[in-house]
Amino acid sequence: MFLSNFSIHRPIATVVLIIALMATGLLAMSKLRVNQNPDVEVPGLFVTLPYPGASPDTVEREIVNRIEKSLQSISGVTDVYSNAQEGSARFDVIFSFQKNMIEASDDHEHGLVEQQAKPRRDFAFG
């Protein structure tokens, strides 16, 4: 009730107060530091596994399909990208920003060792 009565009885003071608040806001906004292109590193691990002499189809069937599932099961993984080429496979594993990368690297290595322990013909990690 006080604010509405004050605004009705003293409109010039109210307008001056609003203009002063707007000017203070504009001054504060000009002092605010905002970087248009912040330096952000996406947390990710990139692995290349050689499979000498194998065609891309064989690499995809023997390596990519199998390992991609185990990489997706690691906690904190947001995206897994894989690429099968002649004689090798490449995996790009992207993690959430909250994930500790040392722990992620250990989980990643454990997942690869686990896959290596499973018997598979002509399959070796390099």
Say if 126 falls within a structural domain. no
Judge if 59 and 98 occupy the same domain. Answer: yes
Q: Give me the chain's average pLDDT, please.
A: 82
Q: Is the pLDDT of residue 124 over 70?
A: no
pLDDT tens digits along 70-118: 788 777 888 999 999 898 899 898 888 887 777 777 776 766 656 554 5
Say if 124 falls within a structural domain. no
Q: Is the pLDDT of residue 19 over 90?
A: yes
At 18, list the tokens: 């609003």
Give residue 34's pLDDT. Answer: 81
Say if 122 falls within a structural domain. no
Least confident range of 3-7, 14-18, 20-24, 98-102? 98-102
Sign of the CA dihedral 25, 31, 35, 41?
Answer: negative
The count of domains in the chain is: 2
CATH no. for residue 63? 3.30.70.1430
Q: What's the whole-model pTM score?
A: 0.55
Q: Which residue has the tokens 């292109």?
A: 37
- How far, CA to CA in Å, does 33 sit from each of 28, 36, 39? 10, 10, 14
